Amino acid sequence: MKTKSLIIIAVIATIFFGANLALAGNLVITGSTTVLPIAQKVAEAYMSQNPDVKISISGGGSGEGMKALIDGTTNIADSSRFIKDTEVKQAVDKGRYPVPFAIAYDCIIPVVHPSNTVVNLTVQQLKGIYKGDIKNWKEMGGPDKKIVVISRDSSSGTYEVWDEKVMNKEKVSPAALMQASNGAIVQAVSSNQNAIGYIGIGYVDNSVKALLVNRVKGTAETALNGTFPIHRALYMFTDGWPKGDTLNFINFMLHPQKGQKYVKEEGFVPMY
Amino acid sequence: MLNDQHKGKSRRIKEQWIKAIFFIVAFASISVLALIVIFLFMEGLPIFSKVSVKDFIFGHYWYPTSEPPEFGIFPLIVASLSVTMISSLISIPLGVFTALYLAEVASRRLREWVKPLVELLAALPSVVIGFFGMVIVAPFLQDFLDIPVGLNLFNASLMLAFMSVPTICSISEDAIFSVPRELKEASLALGATRWETIGRVVIPASISGISTAVILGMSRAIGETMVVLMVAGGAAMIPASIFDPVRPMPASIAAEMAEAPFRGDHYYALFATGIALFAFTLIFNLAADYISNRYRQVGASTL
């Protein structure tokens, strides 16, 4: 009886410490679902070049990433927004110093159903639609149909960019439909002729029609040179200036021929 | 004699050990539950230092990330209750009548086939039902009824009804099936038709089980997250018609929690929404408990 329980304890202990040892060579990345596809692609490439490093990646959102960084449960926090003052304060209280690295640009594109005849909208018109002042497509030269306004959830990073660049801090109408992901917006817009939504440039496909904004097409060039009005930077945050594997990974991420190549492949705009 | 005494002692010790183990197991699951509730309140209550309970529950605007933020969950509560009500209007008749049919009318062979099939409906992951509602039902509603948007209160209620029917049907069927045979035989022997027997004997005798089934089905609907997140539309407004998009409480929590700054006001407000949701499901469960005790059928004589 006693020996048996000793053996069990020994086995559990081995599993426990074994797991801890394995964690030592590991890199944990968590945070924004917008950054997730980039992080995944880059991590795969990095691991195939450095087989001794294991990288585990999860989404959950920018807020979750920051929380993990503050709690010290991640090496890198992905974020589709800059760190908030409240988060900086919490981090400093815990003796952590978040360091931002801008890794890519994200360009937010308004989209409509492919059958919609409207081609261009101004930022003012977009704001009117999302505020609920403009209610019918005929006001923009489209058919006499009620506009179905689809927005991202108010806590998503994509919404924050929209809020800042388009709404100019005015409120999106409560009648707007809220969808929890870029994919859900594409799905909802592609199945509704009267809908308008907005998504990251990497999610635009043939099932929806991308609109021009102020007569500018949203592309990598127009986002980088600033002529397309709705764009934002994506970040990776580390605790203090990165060291060891974390530093190597960030360097890999920012390298024009390495990490940045995958940024482009995933449909985002590379920084370098 | 010595040996017998020894045996008795070791049996007693064994008995006590088993008792202790059962106690620990029962205590562990209850204490985990208690800890979750404590956590829920610890993370939710701080919001009430920023907004009053009245403004939180009856506030009409949910703008958690604006400057200044507004935390009014009244549209969310209305959405949750209306979705639950409408889905119950669909699922209760469907579930109870299916149960009556299976237990009283259908042949034994048919029953053995159909009941597992209905229960299989419960095994469908909610994300599958949600996807079905989003991709098939929403465009169909839009075209068929010529409404602006198919992701709405009615669609969500319909999908939730699909999810509650198996619960309601299965538990009611068990209750109806366990009505003592002699009750039915007595009724038939007195010249009552089959329909009269079902209406006046079988249903009253199993009403406590059926009520429990209905309320468990409803609490499943009010707490369900994935379906309402995908098909309810998510507009935080008080619906004017059943074809308006709504934003039930679970959908709001699920959609926003990931991005809410940790231990910020928005985070606390979402946990407080969780407290409200917990209160509603608790009321449902207490009601189910009360009804099943109140109308408990004790033997055949109380009918």
Residue A260: predicted pLDDT: 92
Q: What is the pLDDT of residues A249-267, one digit of tens each?
A: 999 999 998 889 988 888 7
pLDDT above 80 for A20: no
Number of H helices, E strands in chain A: 10, 12
- Is residue A218 predicted with pLDDT exceeding 90? no
- The model's confidence at residue B161, banded by pLDDT at 50, 70 and 90, is very high
- pLDDT at position B296, please? 65
For chain B, the average pLDDT equals 87
Least confident of A13-27, A195-209, B20-34, B101-115: A13-27
Residue B54 pairs in a beta bridge with: none
The answer, yes or no, to whether ipTM is higher than 0.85 is no
* Average pLDDT score over residue span A163-168: 87
| pLDDT tens string B118-146 | 888 888 888 999 999 988 999 899 888 88
List the single residue in A155, A169, A175 with the smallest CB-CB distance to B235: A175
**Predicted local distance difference test score (pLDDT) of residue A14:** 47
Q: Do A160 and B65 touch (CB under 8 A)?
A: yes
Q: What is the pLDDT of residues A34-83, one digit of tens each?
A: 788 889 999 999 999 988 899 998 877 788 899 899 999 999 999 988 89
Task: Write out pLDDT tens, residues B204-226.
Answer: 888 888 988 998 888 888 888 99
The whole-number pLDDT of residue B204 equals 87
The set of residues, in sequence order, having a beta carbon less than 8 Å from that of A162 and lying 6+ positions away, is: A108, A130, A151, A152, A198, A230
Flag whether residue A210 sits within 8 Å of chain B, measured between CB atoms.
no
Interval A118-141: pLDDT, tens: 899 999 999 999 998 998 998 888
**pLDDT for B24 beyond 60:** yes
Q: For all residues of chain A together, what is the average pLDDT?
A: 85
User: pLDDT at residue A24 above 80?
Assistant: no
B234 at the A interface (CB within 8 A)? Answer: yes
Place of tokens 């029609």: A209
> Which of B246, B259, B262 best tests the A interface by mutation, with the highest count of A CBs <10 A?
B259
Task: Tell me the C-alpha distance between A143 and A93, whole Å.
Answer: 56
> Given pLDDT bands bounded at 50, 70 and 90, which one contains residue B298?
low
In this structure, the strands spanning A76-79 and A231-239 are antiparallel
Residues of chain A contacting B267 with CB distance shorter than 8 Å: 63
Task: State yes or no: cis peptide before B125, omega within 30 of 0.
Answer: no
| Chains A & B: contacts with CB separation below 8 Å | 107
Q: At what angle do helices B74-100 and B203-223 cross, to 10 degrees?
A: 140
Q: Which of A30-34, B5-9, B184-188 has the lowest mean pLDDT?
A: B5-9
- The reply to whether the predicted model has a pTM over 0.80 is no
Residue B68 exposed, middle or buried by CB count within 10 Å (0-12, 13-18, 19+): exposed
Query: Which residues of A, range 94-133, sit inside 8 Å of B by Cβ?
Result: none
State residue B132's pLDDT score: 92
In this complex, the residue of A178, A180, A191 whose CB is nearest that of residue B235 is: A178
What pLDDT does A127 receive? 93
What is the b/e burial string over B189-226, where b = at least 16 CB atoms within 10 angstroms of the residue's CB? eeebeeeebbeebbbebbbbbbbbbbbbbbbbbbbbbb
Q: What percent of chain B has pLDDT over 90?
A: 39
Which amino acid type is present at position B275?
A: I
Instruction: Tell whether B256 is within 8 A of chain A (Cβ).
Output: yes
Rounded-to-10 torsion of CA A127, A133, A136, A139: -70
| Residue A17 confidence (pLDDT) | 46
Q: Do A177 and B233 touch (CB under 8 A)?
A: yes
More confident residue, B249 or A223: B249
